[in-house]
Structure 1
């Protein structure tokens, strides 16, 4: 079953059908013919094969109404040897279906997975060696310009996902967050979550400094920022409760196993309060954390 991270990346390319072609040219240097538009088409690449083949995304580049290039987009978060057989099949199936040239873009954020994806695929047919163009984390453009973020918000969000925890994370977020407010509310909320969750603590603090004094104009943005501040205060209280409880547990039972620390760090207020009441009277750690004996 596809993971949330997989679906998020697919959604960005689906929302802006031309994004894959733009990245092939701009980030990977793959030449494409001039085109006037891009549209999504069926992801079902099954022809006469007994197996069912479905790519993550299939985009057709158009010259007017005529297809001139079909581009298959695959998001790859792990190593899957089956893809070395299905990717050549995807490309030839799409070429036959659309009667035009075909391309492949593999999106692989993890460097180890990206290196595996980029290895040439020998098909056994002389001269037919598939060398998948791979968009790794480092190849994703760093978008810090607000004008560019406004022109291609999906690229700016992808940039935040790739580089949000780096030194440039706050600058990327500062460029894209004001743009997001102009999108329809559900997508704006979704993109806001993606961008903010991509930042590490240092980038979040830097973003607060960059955005200090910035006034959001839309009703949605004001509501979202207010909600974020409220959630931030609540999360801050919970972090304090977790830290205090961990100190109490260590004082009572000594060094804690990793599983117990993870359980406390992932707990919500109700559980934290319950465990805090038990920590002084419980005879064992398991009893304090109401674990089955």
Structure 2
């Protein structure tokens, strides 16, 4: 579901900004210092007297009081003209506040969406046409070398998303996981699984279920060791939670981290069913909990 892939892409980007920055440098002639660490910043981009703006992820580089650059990662799964028109506003508001290089990178698991967001964005300001950097599957290298997969597991997970059906990609990724600490192998396995297409998910399931592969990830162990009946019930719960978030997103209702966490943490299928119906009519996202 889009919400699952959206959350996975945000989590991976937040965890591995250096990997996303490398992909941006490969795609466009922009200045991102390779030696400076990234620091997570608040994602509130305020351009009052208009509405508050919240891109997905905002990083700064350099000193907190005088950053040398601002790097924004916006995850998009489909073509949305309203969101596209917000991108220059993110850049303008951040530049006005920080007075430093501001880069907006749109990441999309869907190539058509990435192509859409890569087009220069004209604005009502004379001479201000903003050139976003969009990263899609075709911009992600095919990781076929185990050393590379182990050195940059975030890139390897993205390679699974983009090229998971290509020969050797899954095997390289899984072998690379064996060289990581258990907590890291678990984390990047989950990123890859959540970002993958259903066909690639099936192949990952087969890989971790095979006697030839140890189960590296607690996520995988929990996900695949349950009985079929329990697995079906878990799948229904997950799909309902994802559907609630998708409906609220499609209706333009703001879903903050607290609301999202409460929905995704719920394991009561009937309660989720009630919230699902409410999501189609409520005025505000949090109103589903009163249904």
| TM-score (normalizing by structure 1) | 0.64
Q: 1:13 to 1:50 in 2, by over 3 A?
A: same
1:176-208 C-alpha deviation (Å, 9 max, x unpaired): 432455325863663464378765389559958
The count of aligned residue pairs is 229
For residue 84 of structure 1, report the CA deviation from its aligned partner.
3.1
Q: In the alignment, is the contact (CA less than 8 A) between 1:157 and 1:176 conserved in 2?
A: no
Q: In the alignment, is the contact (CA less than 8 A) between 1:41 and 1:59 conserved in 2?
A: yes
Note the aligned Cα RMSD (angstroms): 3.6
Q: In the alignment, is the contact (CA less than 8 A) between 2:60 and 2:70 conserved in 1?
A: yes
Q: 1:49 to 1:144 in 2, by over 3 A?
A: farther
Secondary structure of the 2:182 match is coil
Distance in structure 1 (CA, Å) of the matches to 2:220 and 2:76: 33
Distance in structure 2 (CA, Å) of the matches to 1:18 and 1:156: 13
Distance in structure 1 (CA, Å) of the matches to 2:131 and 2:219: 44
The equivalent residue for 1:290 is none
What does 1:167-182 correspond to in 2, within 5 Å?
167-179=167-179, 182=182
Pair 1:17-2:14 in alignment:
no
Pair 1:100-2:100 in alignment:
yes
The structure with the larger Rg is 1
Q: In the alignment, is the contact (CA less than 8 A) between 1:60 and 1:69 conserved in 2?
A: yes
Distance in structure 1 (CA, Å) of the matches to 2:86 and 2:195: 33
What does 1:71-86 correspond to in 2, within 5 Å?
71-86=71-86
- 5+ residue gaps, structure 2, are 233-291
The equivalent residue for 2:142 is 142
For residue 9 of structure 1, report the CA deviation from its aligned partner.
0.3
Q: 1:191 to 1:99 in 2, by over 3 A?
A: same
For residue 31 of structure 1, report the CA deviation from its aligned partner.
3.1
For residue 63 of structure 1, report the CA deviation from its aligned partner.
6.7
1:121-149 C-alpha deviation (Å, 9 max, x unpaired): 11133432112111011111222222222
Q: 1:132 to 1:16 in 2, by over 3 A?
A: same
Q: In the alignment, is the contact (CA less than 8 A) between 2:205 and 2:224 conserved in 1?
A: no
The equivalent residue for 2:29 is 30
Distance in structure 2 (CA, Å) of the matches to 1:102 and 1:20: 15
Pair 1:161-2:170 in alignment:
no
Distance in structure 2 (CA, Å) of the matches to 1:168 and 1:222: 20
For residue 107 of structure 1, report the CA deviation from its aligned partner.
0.9
Distance in structure 2 (CA, Å) of the matches to 1:99 and 1:110: 33
For residue 18 of structure 1, report the CA deviation from its aligned partner.
2.4
Secondary structure of the 1:3 match is helix
Greater relative contact order structure (CA < 8 Å, 6+ sep) = 2
Q: In the alignment, is the contact (CA less than 8 A) between 1:180 and 1:192 conserved in 2?
A: no
For residue 24 of structure 1, report the CA deviation from its aligned partner.
0.7
Secondary structure of the 1:159 match is helix
| TM-score (normalizing by structure 2) | 0.65
